[in-house]
């Protein structure tokens, strides 16, 4: 069953085959957890969201269209829970929660840095933490795209399906986020001198 397609597993889940949902969990729990973890920067919240997502899958499997991908559906549910969690926490670390494409850009764009980072970057002990903080520093609209791209390895088409936006818009938001990431990393000492 491990080599069955998502659609075949979906049919088995609706037939009540609990082994099928175990295979789906094995297939996607790590990617979902990493997405939620990078989005919220909170391991406990990420675990809750992943648990909720798979429970939603089991209880609402009949709502999935046969032509709808399981992967985008899972990440879509997880993303909605992440946004709900952000609203619940009422954090002020993020500049906006709007999911509409803001053609006007974010004020943080003023601090964007297009200068490339060095390739010969020495390994830093705190690199993982800095990378995680860089993602967490982004506005929610950019952070979800970056998290889906870098942690879940979704294509732009899949990201568009998750977020309900055109693929081109997903690419635009991703590329707008990069100068912000670059500026953050440079501010944290990822410079030529490292």
- Closest to another protein by CB, 95 or 112: 112
Give least dist CB 54 to another protein, A. 5
Give the residue from 18, 53, 12 showing the smallest Cα distance to 32. 53
Query: Of residues 20, 33, 106, 188, which one binds another protein by CB under 8 A?
Result: 33
Give least dist CB 97 to another protein, A. 16
The CA distance from 55 to 192, in Å, is 47
Give least dist CB 105 to another protein, A. 18
Give the residue from 88, 81, 75 showing the smallest Cα distance to 164. 75
| Length of the chain (residues) | 194
**98 lies in the site for another protein, by CB under 8 A:** no
**127 lies in the site for another protein, by CB under 8 A:** yes
Give the largest CA-CA distance in the chain.
Answer: 59
Q: Which stretch binds another protein (CB under 8 A): 85-93, 98-106, 165-173, 180-188?
A: 180-188
Q: How many CB atoms lie within 10 A of CB 179?
A: 16
- Closest to another protein by CB, 11 or 94: 11
């Amino acid at each position: 069953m491990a080599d069955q397609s998502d659609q075949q597993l979906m049919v088995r889940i609706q037939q009540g085959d609990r082994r099928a949902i175990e295979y789906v969990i094995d297939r996607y729990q790590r990617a979902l957890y990493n997405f939620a973890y990078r989005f919220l920067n909170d391991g406990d919240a990420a675990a809750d969201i992943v648990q909720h997502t798979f429970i939603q899958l089991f209880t609402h499997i009949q709502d999935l269209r046969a032509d709808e991908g399981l992967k985008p559906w899972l990440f879509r549910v997880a993303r909605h829970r992440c946004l709900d969690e952000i609203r619940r926490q009422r954090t002020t670390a993020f500049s906006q929660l709007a999911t509409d494409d803001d053609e006007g850009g974010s004020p943080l764009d003023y601090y964007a840095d297009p200068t490339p980072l060095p390739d010969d970057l020495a390994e830093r002990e705190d690199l993982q933490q800095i990378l995680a903080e860089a993602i967490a520093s982004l506005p929610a609209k950019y952070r979800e795209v970056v998290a889906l791209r870098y942690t879940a390895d979704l294509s732009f088409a899949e990201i568009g399906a998750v977020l309900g936006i055109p693929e081109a818009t997903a690419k635009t938001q991703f590329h707008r986020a990069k100068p912000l990431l670059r500026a953050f990393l440079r501010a944290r000492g990822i410079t030529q001198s490292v």
